[in-house]
A and B are shown apart, each in its own frame.
Chain A
Amino acid sequence: MLSHYTYFADISCLESLKWGKAPFTICGSMCGIISVIDRSGEPMNGSAIKNALSLMNERGNGEGAGYAVYGAYPDYADYYALHLFYDNLVEPKAIVEQELEKWGTIEVSEMIPTSEQPRLRREHIPWRYFYKPYPKSMGTAATEEDILIHIMNKINTEIPGALLFSTGKNIGIFKASGWPEDVAEFYRIQDYEGYQWLAHNRYPTNTSGWWGGAHPFNLLDWTVVHNGEITSYGTNRRYLESFGYKCTMYTDTEVVAYLTDLLARRHALPLELALKALAPPFWDEIDNMPENERQLNTTIRMAYGSALMNGPFAIVVANSEGIAGITDRIKLRPLVAAEAGERLYISSEEAAIRVMEQDLEHIWMPRAGEPVIGRVR
């Protein structure tokens, strides 16, 4: 089977070429991250996280901000929520819809409500579909996810003027080039509710920002926000290619998304171990561990040596079951976690968390490479 991972990766490469972007973008020395989960599943609207992200404006430069919300579309929870950027609503839209109807049904097609912001230049038209693929339409072995990834590939590589960047069920990604509060107001983020939010304020350091390059990055159920640089990108990419992924998107955040997908979904590692593989302890530390732990860590490093991510990073990854934050193993980027009742917060700065919650019961800076995980009960 021609792996669908190949498709996905190809999209990205051609995507960046199609959109005329320089091939490598990094979220550099700063960037701001804030995320929250309500473990009881209680929905929160987007107004608080907007203010929290804005507090960290110093970490961005107005060239990219975005929000991910899990639980965004309860009325269409069984449908894939597809978010696209259109350059115009004539040619690309007709071709995209033709492609979607080939493999499934469009339940709803609508412009994502936006409101003009004086500081935000509308470069694209955000559109969304609630979509259900036909079972077996791509052959008996293909899953719904395969169909979605095929569609994503097709749209992002072959349909000029269209970019599909959000494909999860009951998940919405809202992003653009702009400051956090402007992007939030543009999408009226306060009108959305969800049990889990990820937000990112970008400071691109190697190339200019663009709407598609803003975080969060989403692949079906997985979403990633990232502050830092993955300097092991080459090693990680070659490793991923051996599993059929083709990392040609030329953004380092891409490998985080694929590595998580490979380890946690395809290899079915518990999330704790998957993250340990990305940021494992040093060998000398492993040598000093109790026997059981030593063996486990040795095995992970031997099996997943090429999945190790080097360079400075702090990331939060999420799927519909929860969120996880982790830094590189020598702690070259900040990460703070805090708890208040059912809520777990993970952020670049304590002050941002305090914008969302005054009464924090427990606040701490996780050790380098040690994941903080919050799961829906």
Chain B
Amino acid sequence: MAEKISIDAEGLHYTPLNQQIRAAVAAGAKEIVLDNVNGQRFIGNGLRGKDVRITINGVPGGDLGMFMSGPTCIVHANAEHAPGNTMDAGTIYIHGNAGDAVAHSMRGGEVYVKGNIGYRGGIHMKEYQDKKPVLVVGGRTRAFLGEYMAGGLLIVLGRGYTCPVDERGIGTGIHGGEIFIRGEVPEKHLGIGATKKPFTEKERELIRPYIKKYCIEFGIDDPSLFEDEYVRIGPASARPFAGKYTWE
């Protein structure tokens, strides 16, 4: 099979679509272009293959790249709910906005959204040893960002916004990982268990490569993304609800 193949997804249900994608990867395809995608859920679910690139022309349905381990998905449209759900490795680039619960329970890999995302971005992201998921959002997010976050990095570039997360419940129940927000973060928006921490050169270096990848993919040239101060938010304790359900 050719290294590059195109699949016309017009009117195709996600099951045969995913079967075609898997067959292509199994046959050695490295570059897969999906045309006329509209609403198909679960694209690339559980797919393995480190050097596979899937270009998605159209709006993918929910749970894009769920459990995916290795491939890169590039979406030339908005995405619906939970792209990167429990993703294990690989990259998702969304050249648009995305819905609620982006990077839901993500355990590895990277998700980049050019524009804005909805509610509960990065909910329950987690990390383990060398697995450290990253979510980068170019614009603003809605409420409950990083809710119950257990690991990983969540970076909000806030392009075009002075207060890119002007909503309640940032990091509610966070007990691992860190959130970086470029812009103002009113104290009242911090959720239970979340606290602001100093943003030092060490953190700036930590997030730099991901900002760079964002800029390269989306063709953005903005030095202030690297130079500006970020508000760093992390867990106030490793067990924010220790006393909630049990008493000693």
Contact = CB atoms under 8 A, between A and B. Distances in A.
Contacts, number: 53
A55 B39 contact: yes
A328 to B, nearest CB: 11
Given A288-B188, A331-B118, A334-B81, A368 B39 contact: no
B12 to A, nearest CB: 12
A352 interface: yes
B163 to A, nearest CB: 13
Interface residues of B, number: 21
A373 B78 CA distance: 23
Question: Mostly helix, strand, loop or mixed at chain B's interface?
Answer: loop
Contacts of B59: 350-351, 354
Contacts of A331: 100, 118-120, 142-143
Contacts of A350: 59, 78, 80
Contact of B38 (A55, A282, A330, A367): A55
Interface in A337-364: 349-352, 354-355, 363
Interface string A261-299: 000000000000000000000101100100000000000
A58 interface: yes
A292 B104 CA distance: 39
A285 B38 CA distance: 37
Contacts of B48: none
Contact of A354 (B38, B119, B144): B38
Interface string B78-111: 1011000000000000000101100000000000
Interface in B179-198: 188
Given A55-B39, A349-B80, A363-B78, A330 B143 contact: yes
A56 interface: yes
A368 B142 contact: yes
A300 interface: no
Interface of B: 38-39, 41, 58-59, 61-62, 78, 80-81, 97, 99-100, 118-120, 142-144, 168, 188
13 contacts: A56-B39, A331-B119, A331-B120, A334-B81, A334-B99, A349-B61, A350-B78, A350-B80, A351-B39, A354-B38, A354-B59, A367-B142, A368-B119
Interface of A: 55-56, 58, 282, 284-285, 288, 330-331, 334, 336, 349-352, 354-355, 363, 365, 367-368
